[in-house]
Structure 1
């Protein structure tokens, strides 16, 4: 009996094993990810804890079968897309993913872009930051975490400001930009949007802190002075200035918490403001720690490792995190400073120990960055054909002074080029310019009979393309002309002289000294026959605004070529 039961028992066990082995694998329930050691399917989301906050990183995946699993993301987790290293921000909901699981944590996550390896929809990757510099195709920005990043622009890069296409030459250091990339691992910018212009400085003030209202974000100063035309001038007995919410005060080169400002009542403070909806707001607050001193000279050397700056007169200064740099009337990163810059430094300290609190850079040029190709040329119009012209024995404004060249220079123009007949004070189309007698064959009978001569021109060019031209029958004496920069104080229509601009905080370039010489008085310049250009377009004098920065070639009182910066 035992033998019979044993035989039947063994036969039953064998049959059960055979049935189990023959059972289709898909007929049973799929193994749990924690059992099989991985999960794959579609990404729902990757969540990260707030910076400095509590919480854990996690990944949520919907399997191909429809189950949803939320896994803790290991601190040492390796992330990849198409077998290339990636960051959490590179993963998009809906992307197919594979996650390896160890001890109930995802230790390796790989995503698949499905169509083409490393493919993103156009503009699928985004980076925000502030422009530091542009040199050639190289774009340097500082992201909002304070890191410097290098990218590249190409002729195909689309650049937009306020919904309008612009060229790279119209970008400024300090502009806040949003960069869109068409490929995940590419550093070539596909599209760029200027989110906000670099901060235009509307005022530099010094006064004693009377009170602070941190809830209303207001400062009250007494005995207020304003920086005008190279010196402090009395401005107001008392002044209230609201400040931006993100304000970071400094004292002695050190950051202060906003709520510590009330403890500095009675102390001298420097305030840099910008215009917000017609009202000034403080963007920088620097408390004077010891004694103020002001220096004007060229930068001889900068040691970035030690944050030291030396002027030509051998005075040395320490740069600190709160040092304010103003150039082109805009707040700039201190990295734009360079040897040879003409600067004014408002320092704080005593003896040989001085902090550079405010650095005002006088240097300006037609080009905002090293990438610019704008020039001003002057010369005789030798020949004009369809969309081409030649200047003979011409001059180029290089290094803020005229340089002469023999021979001819070929340039190109188009229907977007603006021509201004300064003698008759009329605008011309490209066709009218071509048809006009602005460049003539002085040996022809008609020309001799009518006494026609070649005209002269000031040309504002971008590379080899003429952006705008000022035409006049006679050549000016370029030796007496000056290159001047300044800020529009007001624009008036004088009864006798016509449209005239009054400028403050100006500087003239001195060819003899090779440096910018600050002006200590207001300057008036006539605009009636001037070529007035803003963002590659001709504008009228009434379009100038108070606070606009100007770069100009002038013949004493008369402006010739004026560019709004």
Structure 2
């Protein structure tokens, strides 16, 4: 105690010194850590450009459609100029256009100063580049050489000269070349052309996206798995540093970067030559992204698992190009993994010796089960898994292994993406009693469809699941295929393997998101307690027209609200009393049979209406073009596509679109129909309908011939696919259509089903001298699915050579129709006891017959415009009130003798309920006199395709 009293001053002084030293040291440590660069793994980093908006504006193209990638690159390389955001891909090239474009591509335009006389200026360039000699140009037949159109043969010849190599093309040699043809050539040979501009390309797959904070700013980090390795050498780093320090020195050594060199690598790897298979993109909305819809800087438009090309100059990103690449599965027996042999694989190896997936020590050799050898390139970061089980097992256990653990003769499954193997599964059979049990369908996922194709399904949360031929797809308890999955459908995914991205089963859920009715009404009383609303003065959208529903007024009282109601872009579910008597658009669905409002939009002010097809969609600006008008949309816009409530990402161009906006042209509701019959997708439509004559029959096929009119052959037959009739001629392309034992054959005129064997008896008709079978040269409708005949329907020639609204319609089935005459007859039968027996017999006959099917939302085919058009409603005027009333057109379909095709199978004498709520494509008999039942036209169906 005495010691502390005597040394108090010294003690306090020492304590202060200790605290001061502690604070200094702590601050230094924190500063050291604060100065550390953010770590992005051992991957190089690429960043955006200073003015991405300029790149977006300079390369904004609105008329390229699915060819946007090629046209943007062509404009970037100055082959074509963008004028008023248009580049005109289908414009034919003159020789002058071609020479101007190729001169710019070759870099020989830098000395051109005279632009007043283009022909004289580019005459010298054409001769200089070897396109034509001066002697040939002076010949009389070449007086209009520069005005003449360029053929594909000429274009290929000229393009080969500037590339110093022969270029292959597939178009006919005498076809007139277009801008798109040249753009395709440029895109196929972009690597050589971009090298001249010192532009590098990195290609790869997006692995992940995340948010980071750098320099106090929120940024996006995108990790890309590259198709080719990046080689970073210490020599190159040192040389580049020295070059930067000697900017003014003429003796500075040029840095020897490999072809795919980048400038940044973390310190751990900076002292050695490094090969990396990944890179990072850091963006603060400064990376222009080219999507199928145009440019944007929103990285949300880059999807995980999508393929991207990254165009860079001076190690800054010019723009990123996003697209999808399908994957395939290859199975066989493992042979070896070896170094590349140029005699085995002919690849374009880098002149600068960069290590890549194309020239590194990674080629796998397998043999298929026909003992044929195959060679595949491996991705430098290929994933190899050992699977305890056999190929095709639903239950298996996987673990990562090294390539040395693959054994000769082992069964393997390769995942091939963009020509490169990205993963290998090696199968190891195990004893049955040693297998561990994993419950089938033990993992469950779900979501709403954004996009679907034959190999994958993308959901609105941007998750993508692969599908294979083994994936079981169910709808309404029945097996179907991926074509029955529509945009906006809710799906459940079941997995047998928790590590797999391929579901074993997919269930398409019920109609909760299907629009039962689309209405326009006025807001009435609203109950907060019951979350219900009464709608007044309702009109229903039918075939693009608002139809009065005053007789059903009670059906719109106290309707439950299940979704969101918007006014402008704000949700107003609890404020609906403030919008009394305002007009509202609402989508009604049936949940367990009870109508509910799934989405609503209150329109403030008057409306504009557009009824056409969308020509362009710009997701970066949330705008679309229709009838030359720029229309805005947002998350509050109601969007219906083929009866499903969908998101804006599901909007589609070139199909029937009905849009209503406010006066500011902000879309309130968008209704699209006919997506399955989009001309752009017609090749993917599974069904084809042929109309022609039967020329010959073989064991498992029939030969189709030209059509017949009034008993005489004409010089063409017809084929329907995806909403369009095509007129074709008999010849080398005459279809020989395969059939199976399940193909339904029916004689419409004689109301008689025929067996396949009966048809085979008519075979070799053309070889029989003087004798023609009954069905030879009969008019026939043949329906195929995936090019195999589902039904063959004979019918007497009907006298019309055109196919049009007289024999094909597309509609929606309502259900069985009971004639008012039948109801009256039944009542009379109960009262007339004297005719009891006769009436009973009559009733029995009626029970055996199939009643007609009522259809609505009818579209007729217009042969002048080659498209389906909605049938306009019947307009009447009340003479007393002068109110205009629109009544939708409905028709009856007699299916007594029709072949109905449902789920790819042909059925006869089906119940009308089978066609209820189905989308129907109907071929019917052409009659000169209309058949009327209860003031409704009745058609005799020949074939009905139900989807």
TM-score (norm 2): 0.42
1:381 Cα deviation from its structure 2 partner: 2.6
1:488 pairs with 2:807: no
**Bigger mean CA offset, 413-422 vs 128-137:** 413-422
For 1:341, the equivalent position in structure 2 comes to 655
Structure 1 pair 199–530 and aligned structure 2 pair: CA distance change class (3 A): farther
1:364 Cα deviation from its structure 2 partner: 4.7
For 2:704, the equivalent position in structure 1 comes to 391
Of Structure 1 and Structure 2, the greater helix share is in 2
The DSSP-based 3-state class of the residue aligned with 2:457 is strand
1:563 pairs with 2:945: yes
Distance in 2 (alpha carbons) for counterparts of 1:466 and 1:170? 20
Q: Is the 8 A contact 2:512 2:591 kept in 1?
A: no
Higher relative contact order (CA 8 A, sep 6+): 1
Q: How many residues align?
A: 441
1:321 Cα deviation from its structure 2 partner: 1.0
Of Structure 1 and Structure 2, the greater strand share is in 1
Distance in 2 (alpha carbons) for counterparts of 1:245 and 1:362? 25
1:555 Cα deviation from its structure 2 partner: 5.4
1:117 Cα deviation from its structure 2 partner: 1.6
Structure 1 pair 241–202 and aligned structure 2 pair: CA distance change class (3 A): farther
Q: In the TM superposition, what whole-angstrom CA distance separates every residue of 1:256-291 from its partner, at most 9, and x where no partner exists?
A: 3x3233332322212211234444322222212222
Structure 1 pair 386–241 and aligned structure 2 pair: CA distance change class (3 A): farther
Q: In the TM superposition, what whole-angstrom CA distance separates every residue of 1:530-560 from its partner, at most 9, and x where no partner exists?
A: 4332322336362355544323344555544
For 2:588, the equivalent position in structure 1 comes to 273
Q: Is the 8 A contact 2:563 2:599 kept in 1?
A: yes
Q: In the TM superposition, what whole-angstrom CA distance separates every residue of 1:465-492 from its partner, at most 9, and x where no partner exists?
A: 2223322254763514334323335644
2:765 to 420, 424, 441: 441
Q: In the TM superposition, what whole-angstrom CA distance separates every residue of 1:227-276 from its partner, at most 9, and x where no partner exists?
A: 234322321255435656641111113333x3233332322212211234
1:149 Cα deviation from its structure 2 partner: 1.7
1:517 pairs with 2:830: no
1:305 Cα deviation from its structure 2 partner: 0.9
Residues 321-470 of structure 1 correspond to what in structure 2 (within 5 A)? 321-347=635-661, 349-350=662-663, 353-365=664-676, 372-393=685-706, 394-398=717-721, 399-407=723-731, 408-435=734-761, 437=762, 441=765, 444=768, 447-448=771-772, 453-470=776-793
Q: Is the 8 A contact 2:652 2:675 kept in 1?
A: no
Distance in 1 (alpha carbons) for counterparts of 2:634 and 2:687? 34
1:531 to 871, 881, 899: 899
For 1:133, the equivalent position in structure 2 comes to 451
Distance in 2 (alpha carbons) for counterparts of 1:244 and 1:386? 60
Residues 85-484 of structure 1 correspond to what in structure 2 (within 5 A)? 115-117=397-399, 122-142=440-460, 147-197=461-511, 199-236=513-550, 237=553, 239-241=555-557, 246-256=562-572, 258-312=573-627, 314-347=628-661, 349-350=662-663, 353-365=664-676, 372-393=685-706, 394-398=717-721, 399-407=723-731, 408-435=734-761, 437=762, 441=765, 444=768, 447-448=771-772, 453-474=776-797, 477-482=800-805, 483-484=808-809
1:167 Cα deviation from its structure 2 partner: 2.0
Distance in 2 (alpha carbons) for counterparts of 1:469 and 1:324? 42
Distance in 2 (alpha carbons) for counterparts of 1:318 and 1:179? 34
Structure 1 pair 266–370 and aligned structure 2 pair: CA distance change class (3 A): farther
Structure 1 pair 425–465 and aligned structure 2 pair: CA distance change class (3 A): same
1:122 Cα deviation from its structure 2 partner: 4.5
Q: In the TM superposition, what whole-angstrom CA distance separates every residue of 1:168-190 from its partner, at most 9, and x where no partner exists?
A: 22322222211123444433232
Structure 1 pair 453–466 and aligned structure 2 pair: CA distance change class (3 A): closer
2:855 to 503, 520, 531: 503
1:315 Cα deviation from its structure 2 partner: 1.7
TM-score (norm 1): 0.68
The DSSP-based 3-state class of the residue aligned with 2:578 is helix
Q: In the TM superposition, what whole-angstrom CA distance separates every residue of 1:419-460 from its partner, at most 9, and x where no partner exists?
A: 33212223444445445x5x5625536945x76634333222
Q: In the TM superposition, what whole-angstrom CA distance separates every residue of 1:138-182 from its partner, at most 9, and x where no partner exists?
A: 32222xxxx122222111211122332212223222222111234
Q: In the TM superposition, what whole-angstrom CA distance separates every residue of 1:284-322 from its partner, at most 9, and x where no partner exists?
A: 22212222222112212111111101112x222111213
The DSSP-based 3-state class of the residue aligned with 2:468 is coil
Structure 1 pair 376–414 and aligned structure 2 pair: CA distance change class (3 A): same
List alignment gaps of at least 5 residues for structure 2: 1-387, 389-395, 401-435, 707-716, 823-848, 874-888, 927-938
Q: Is the 8 A contact 2:493 2:503 kept in 1?
A: yes
The DSSP-based 3-state class of the residue aligned with 1:320 is coil
For 2:417, the equivalent position in structure 1 comes to none
